[in-house]
Homo-oligomer: A and B are copies of this chain.
Amino acid sequence: MTHAPHSARLDFASVDDVAEALRRDGGRLTTPRRLVLETLFAARGPITAEQLAGERLELTSVYRALECLEQLGAVRHVHLGHSPGLYSLVGDAEREHLVCERCNRVTSVAAERLDGVRAEIERAFGYRARFSHFPIVGLCRECAAAQRD
């Protein structure tokens, strides 16, 4: 239930890089894991387990592959609202998210752009906030204006 250690986060530039790390850990590059990785490398944004499964894999296997890859530090996921988790490769340009709870708009921004906010939170509460796994939720500019009537 706890999250990836992020300790020795290697650069995973290809499926083979991940495979090597996998084997170093006593693991194996199996068909589901390879397919999941290939799909993630080809994806242009975070995608669901269901999308990763397609018609060729059991959802179960996808979840197990993702769990293992997340442990390795090669994959991470984000929860936007109540919808299914969205998975992506670590090291893809790291992005963090704001979600409007009224219109469900998702604003994805480069992680650095939230460093000011993060600093303010750390100063005030000691927390190092990470908006890549759970987003900032609130009202976007338009919905906030609409709400004011």
**Contacts A3-B102, A113-B124; is A138 near B129 (CB within 8 Å)?**
yes
A101 contacts the other chain (CB 8 A):
yes
Q: Report whether over half of chain A's contact residues are helix, strand or loop; otherwise say mixed.
A: mixed
- Please tell me which one of the listed residues B6, B100, B125, B130 contacts residue A127 in the complex, with CB atoms under 8 A apart: B100
How many copies the complex holds: the figure is: 2
Does A121 reach chain B (CB closer than 8 Å)?
Answer: yes
Q: Decide: A128 near B121, CB < 8 A? Known: A101-B133, A102-B2, A102-B3.
A: no
Write 16 A-B pairs (CB below 8 A) sorted by A numbering. Answer: A6-B147, A98-B121, A98-B125, A113-B124, A114-B124, A116-B120, A116-B124, A117-B117, A117-B124, A121-B136, A121-B138, A126-B141, A127-B136, A128-B138, A131-B137, A134-B134
